[in-house]
Structure 1
Amino acid sequence: MNKLKLNELVKSQDWTMFGIIASIYLVWRIGVVGNWTKECWILLLICLLGVRKDQIDVDWRRFFLFGIPLLGVFYYFYGSGNGFWWKIANWMFENNRHPWHWDDYMNAIPLNTGGWARWIATPFLDKAMVWIYNYGFVLSLWICLVRSFWTRSIKKMLSYALSGHMLQFPLILPFYNLILLHEVWYVNKQPDLLHRVFTDQNSLLVAVMNCFPSMHTSISFAMLLLALREKDRIFKTMMVTYCASIIFSTLYLQIHWLIDVFAGMLFAYGTVKLSDFLIRIGSNRMLPAKFKSFYRKGTQTADNHLPV
């Protein structure tokens, strides 16, 4: 009798509403951990305006069973990932395993310093570019991840995550371990336009190395490429504008070399293609048929792939 009452109680609950509340709370926590400013939230909200145009036919409750834990995993690694990255950077600096030093070569290439990007430089533009650069490394990815969550697509969430930090971090480390290239302003003994404060010389040197390829460029360009696959014009326009601004900021602020940017774009393209391949293999060959059947129960979608 008690079991019957419990089943009736469970069925009577509005689990969709509970899932929405939990999702909003998780997104809010992501912003808190990232110290998002009001501009970050406004940008996210604008990108969510046309989300229904890209939503897929999956029941909210079934999506929440997998989508919320997956977003939670991304949130967990987001909170701990920054410290892990700086441990790796410090390890590379301390072990000094850079057989190739490129400062002089890069500085000798015409237009490679990106100084031409500052042909119009104002205090307002300086401030805007600093904000774009400081948040661009993670905000471009999180906007796409959060939006893909509200499209109810596990596949899109995985595509953005894999094409971003999940694949790019391990794949870019060999470049950073082999090539020593410092930021443009440091090589040319100019002021740091980001106005960073370094506790000592070692922390400065760790912060200004690892330029090739530009990971600010590779993350934002990967998000741009994936955003172009969506239907909503508002989202595509905003992401193309924002991601292009991130790439431009690396040159405007005299951080990355022009060749770093081109290399970052090529690296991003390869990562997106690798992500597509891995998801296709996982969806077609590794995903259990029972999972596909359960996930798509009650929908009009007939194929056996992960939701797109």
Structure 2
Amino acid sequence: MIKNGQDLSLKTIFLLLLSLTGLIWFLPHVPQHPIWERLQFFLILLFPIILSYKYFYFKKPLIKQSLVYLGFYIVLSLTTFVIHIWQLQWEIANPNGLFEFKVYIDPLLASIPFNDGMWLWELSTPSLDRFFVYIYIHGFVFCILGLCLYYLVTGQPRKILLAMFAGHFLQYLLILPFHFWVDGHQVWYIQNLWYGTNYIDPLLGYRTVTEPIIPSLNHVFPSMHTSIAIVTILLALREKSKMIKYFYTILNIGIIFSTVYLGIHWVIDLVGGALFGYLVLKVADKIMDVDWKETWSAVEQKTLTYLEKDQLPMPNSPIRYFWWDDQ
């Protein structure tokens, strides 16, 4: 509910939605230009947030805390992006994997019946292709951020941290072993390589021509698009707003579907991605349940027990254990 005398009338909501629609409509139409398309997609994510206005909770301390946590989210998301680029560059220099060990799973993936999702490709139309490429490219980046903005305007700052851990940061860290030691290629690439077909890269025009993009074709299991989409769905289903629940659930089911429809992921990649996302969210929940202030106090106390008695300060003298005790 809206607090502190803040009231959004239906007229205000209508004007916000109208302005948002106009802004999206008049954005420069540059085909396959990620910057404008991502801005457009991000603005679309604001619709369900504005329509959930009755759950808005404006309270200054919560807003300030939410903005700080949102800053953490953005910084850690950019950090994971840098880690990802570093990892791709490392793979170019070390094609045989970490410690010269790598498991090649292409034969296994191709041997599972219906695993290539070719049955979905029969539904392909230019319009569907365009739609699924659109949500595949931009949904991976912005869906969790959209939820964070909803948490900000509804006075739920701790959920921003939960989304930060579960949505990107922990996922990028925990998936690194698969990137270092598991090698499996995208479906369209294998179809061309093994069966002499001529399928076009579905993300042609979005992939960069720089070297780090090459190893990304080798990372299919588990599907990280699926794992992040599963986390987004599970987080959205925890909210009271039906608009948030329905919009983010349907959108992210579409993102999961797109990975097979576009010939990028194998069906088994989706199963692995869903399980991976569920487990990462559980880990993030555990992290958020910990009282870190109390835990740190316990660590300080345990550290104190290891100090020699003759190193302890004299009675009534100030005790300093760490450098920040002077602050």
Instruction: Tell me which interval the TM-score lies in, with the shorter structure as reference length.
Output: 0.7 to 0.9
Deviation at 1:240, TM superposition (A): 0.7
Give distance in 2, aligned partners of 1:40 and 1:267: 26
* 1:97-108 matched pairs, under 5 angstroms: 97=97, 98-108=101-111
SS of alignment partner, residue 175 of structure 2: helix
Relative to structure 1, is the Cα distance of residues 110 and 224 closer, same or farther in structure 2, using a 3 angstrom cutoff?
Answer: same
* 1:183-262 matched pairs, under 5 angstroms: 183-189=186-192, 190-196=199-205, 199=209, 202-203=211-212, 205-262=214-271
**With CA pairs under 8 Å and 6+ residues apart, which has the higher RCO, 1 or 2?**
1
1:45 aligned residue (47, 57, 61): 47
- Asked whether the equivalents of residues 51 and 147 of structure 1 are also in contact (C-alpha less than 8 Å), the reply is no
Partner of 2:279: 270
- Asked whether the equivalents of residues 47 and 238 of structure 1 are also in contact (C-alpha less than 8 Å), the reply is no
Where do 5+ consecutive residues of structure 1 fail to align? 1-15, 17-32, 289-308
Q: What whole-Å deviation, never above 9, does each CA across 1:80-101 have from its counterpart, x for those lacking one?
A: 5434311112213421315200
1:74 paired with 2:73, answer yes
Letter in 1 for 2:116: T
* 1:1-308 matched pairs, under 5 angstroms: 35=36, 36-53=38-55, 55=56, 60-79=59-78, 81-95=80-94, 96-97=96-97, 98-189=101-192, 190-196=199-205, 199=209, 202-203=211-212, 205-282=214-291, 285-286=294-295
SS of alignment partner, residue 188 of structure 1: helix
Letter in 1 for 2:155: R
SS of alignment partner, residue 291 of structure 2: helix
Give distance in 1, aligned partners of 2:50 and 2:118: 35
Give distance in 2, aligned partners of 1:128 and 1:107: 27
Letter in 2 for 1:240: T
Give distance in 1, aligned partners of 2:294 and 2:35: 36
Give distance in 2, aligned partners of 1:118 and 1:266: 25
Relative to structure 1, is the Cα distance of residues 61 and 260 closer, same or farther in structure 2, using a 3 angstrom cutoff?
Answer: same
Give distance in 2, aligned partners of 1:124 and 1:37: 21
Give distance in 2, aligned partners of 1:234 and 1:186: 38
Deviation at 1:250, TM superposition (A): 0.5
**Larger Cα-atom Rg:** 2
Give distance in 2, aligned partners of 1:157 and 1:203: 30
Where do 5+ consecutive residues of structure 2 fail to align? 1-5, 7-33, 193-198, 298-327
Give distance in 2, aligned partners of 1:287 and 1:65: 25
Letter in 1 for 2:234: L
Letter in 1 for 2:285: D
- Asked whether the equivalents of residues 99 and 178 of structure 1 are also in contact (C-alpha less than 8 Å), the reply is yes
Give distance in 1, aligned partners of 2:140 and 2:35: 11
Relative to structure 1, is the Cα distance of residues 285 and 80 closer, same or farther in structure 2, using a 3 angstrom cutoff?
Answer: closer
Give distance in 2, aligned partners of 1:199 and 1:284: 47
Q: Normalising by structure 2, what TM-score?
A: 0.71
- Asked whether the equivalents of residues 62 and 155 of structure 2 are also in contact (C-alpha less than 8 Å), the reply is yes
Deviation at 1:160, TM superposition (A): 1.3
Relative to structure 1, is the Cα distance of residues 80 and 278 closer, same or farther in structure 2, using a 3 angstrom cutoff?
Answer: closer
SS of alignment partner, residue 37 of structure 1: helix
Relative to structure 1, is the Cα distance of residues 51 and 263 closer, same or farther in structure 2, using a 3 angstrom cutoff?
Answer: farther
Relative to structure 1, is the Cα distance of residues 206 and 51 closer, same or farther in structure 2, using a 3 angstrom cutoff?
Answer: farther
Give distance in 1, aligned partners of 2:108 and 2:215: 20
Give distance in 2, aligned partners of 1:101 and 1:194: 24
Relative to structure 1, is the Cα distance of residues 61 and 186 closer, same or farther in structure 2, using a 3 angstrom cutoff?
Answer: same
Equivalent residue pairs, number: 253
- What do you get for the CA RMSD once the two structures are aligned? 2.4
Identity %: 30
